[in-house]
Amino acid sequence: MAKENTAQKLIASNKTARLNYEIGDIYEAGMVLTGTEVKALRAGKANLKDSYAVVKDDEVYLREMHISHYDHGNRFNHEPLRPRKLLLHKREIRKLYGKSREKGLALVPLKLYFKDGKVKVEIGIGKGKKLYDRRHDIKDREERRTLSRDFKSKQIKI
């Protein structure tokens, strides 16, 4: 059996997604892009903040994802905020459609990366967190950080 080459190069990640949403299932999807969009992504000019996915007419679109203009693109440059079609299997689209219709659930992009020369996006089904949940998560993270810091400092002194 041949060994798979699944080298991934991260382009952008949505850092606030896991802070604002409790992520359930995660799906990997391809994207339909133009040439200047791919070149701009290779230069790392993408932003997933405030972006979301929508199921419309049995197709999934990623909206509000910003890909900056390609520097050497001319009049054929792309529109930065255009909706981009995601490539998924039909059964995955049906699952996402059902989940997106449930109250309180949203389709949130988590990561954008190159995999085997193709642009992929990770979509998570997220349930919005309340303010007190976010505060609790921040408190837990800080406690873990201080414990690990104390543990490291005690090990060095011994």
Residues 77, 70 contacting (CB under 8 angstroms): yes
Give me 133's structure tokens.
């949940």
Q: Averaged over 113-133, what is the pLDDT?
A: 89
Cβ count near 57 (within 10 Å): 5
Instruction: Tally the residues of the chain.
Output: 158
What is the mean pLDDT of the segment spanning 36-63? 91
pLDDT higher than 90, residue 29:
yes
pTM, to two decimals: 0.77
Bridge partners (DSSP) of residue 107 are 53, 125
**Tokens 């995999």 -> residue:** 115
**pLDDT tens digit string along 50-99?**
899 999 999 999 999 999 988 887 787 888 899 999 999 999 999 989 88
List beta partners, residue 108.
124
Q: Does residue 156 carry a pLDDT above 70?
A: no
Domains of the chain: 11-129 (2.40.280.10)
